[in-house]
Structures are given as C-alpha cells and as structure tokens.
Amino acid sequence: MALHHAVLALLAVKPAHGYELKGSFDEAVGDQWGGLNIGHLYQLLERLSRDGLIESERQAQTVKPDRLVHRLTPAGRDELRRWLAEPSPRTRGYRDDFFLKVMAAAQMGDAAALRQVLSRQRAHLLRELRSLADARGDLAPGLPPAGSSPVVDLLLTAAELHARADLGVVDAAEQGLRPEILEALQGAGASQQAGEGRAEGGGATAGAGLLGEG
C-alpha cells in the first residue's frame, strides 16, 4: 500500500488531478524510483475513492476535456497518519534474479559459470555506483532547482548503500561458494540421485518377485 499512501501524502498538501499528482510524485522522488505509471495512478485513485479516503470533483475546462480533481477526506487523513506512525518492515522473503543464477550454477557444480555470474554482477553494480555518482553530481549547487530536493538526495544515498551492500553479497558468494564447496554440492546431488535410482530399482525387483509368486 506504500504508493497509495504516497498519493494520500501528496493530496494532503493540496487537491490535484491525475497528471498533476504524477508530476508531483516524480519531482518528489526523482528518477531512482522509476517513475509512476499514469494508468497505475488512476487505478490507485479509484481504489482510494472506493475506500472513502479521497473524494473527487469534476471540473470543466474551456478547451480540454473535464478533469477530476481529487482531495483528501478526513478518513484519508487519518489513514495517512496511521501509516506514518508505523514502522516499515521488510517484505517477507528475498526474491532476486541474481540469487536464482547463483543457485543454478551451484546446483550444477559449475565453478566457471558461477565465476561468470559473480563477475558480471560485480561489473553491473560498479557501473550502477558510477551512474549514481554522476546523478549526485547533477544535484550540485547552482544546477537546476529540480535537483535540489533533499528527498531525492536521500534516495540516491539509499541506492548507493544498497549497491554497496549487494557488492558485499558478491564478496560473500565468492568466499562461501569456492570450487571445493561446489564439488561437495555436486557430489551430494549425485549421491542423492543414485540413492533414488536404487530405491526405484529395488521397488521394481520386489514387484517382479510378487508377480512371480502369483
């Protein structure tokens, strides 16, 4: 519900129509969030209206089509206060394409493939850090006012910290999944498959014996 509450926060400042909300959101959080899709925003507004958290008024325009201006209701303001008063727990689980690639290489016991996965991930993260440094340079004093938001600067800091933490994960993978460990994993997998094969063979033999007795 974080995006729903972000929309409530923007409407707490002043009533606004859809495209105005999108512009305010994009300006407030910068490029690092990834932008807010206008179609998704309209879905959020419909849900907020259905839940009684906002109300909408149709306003006529002389040239353009009528527009809906949305404003916060007392219930919406209460919900925003409730959300702000709560901590933000981590979403359960840790789903990441990188970890699936590491798992695949480890299960295959392919040390070369694992080295490539880790090397490419490290290069990607270093490029990301350079890109973030460039973006931070664009926020230097004297440049356009749109880049002066302390919230955008904080988001850049968060992105840098996440990238550096991910580099630490790559380091940990290089240490914890050394070739000898991969060989052990591969050996364990082969033993398990052999055990399953023997169990299936034993079952077939027992079945043949029963059939012979009949």
As a whole number of angstroms, the distance between CA 49 and CA 172 comes to: 47
As a whole number of angstroms, the distance between CA 129 and CA 57 comes to: 45
As a whole number of angstroms, the distance between CA 24 and CA 3 comes to: 13
Residue showing tokens 């070369």: 112
- Inter-residue contact 21 to 38 (CB < 8 Å): no
Average pLDDT on 71-99 reads: 85
| HSE toward the beta carbon, residue 180, CA cutoff 13 A | 1
Structure confidence by residue, pLDDT tens digits, 96-110: 788 888 888 877 777
Residue ranges covered by each domain of the chain: 2-84, 97-201
Structure confidence by residue, pLDDT tens digits, 189-213: 444 444 555 555 555 444 444 334 4
Is 144 in a helix, a strand, or coil?
coil
Give CATH for domain 2-84: 1.10.10.10
Range name among 21-25, 88-92, 143-147, 161-165 with the lowest pLDDT average: 143-147
pLDDT at 213 (0 to 100): 41
Structure confidence by residue, pLDDT tens digits, 114-158: 889 999 999 999 999 999 888 877 655 444 444 457 888 888 899
More confident residue, 168 or 178: 168
Tell me the one-letter amino acid at 33.
W
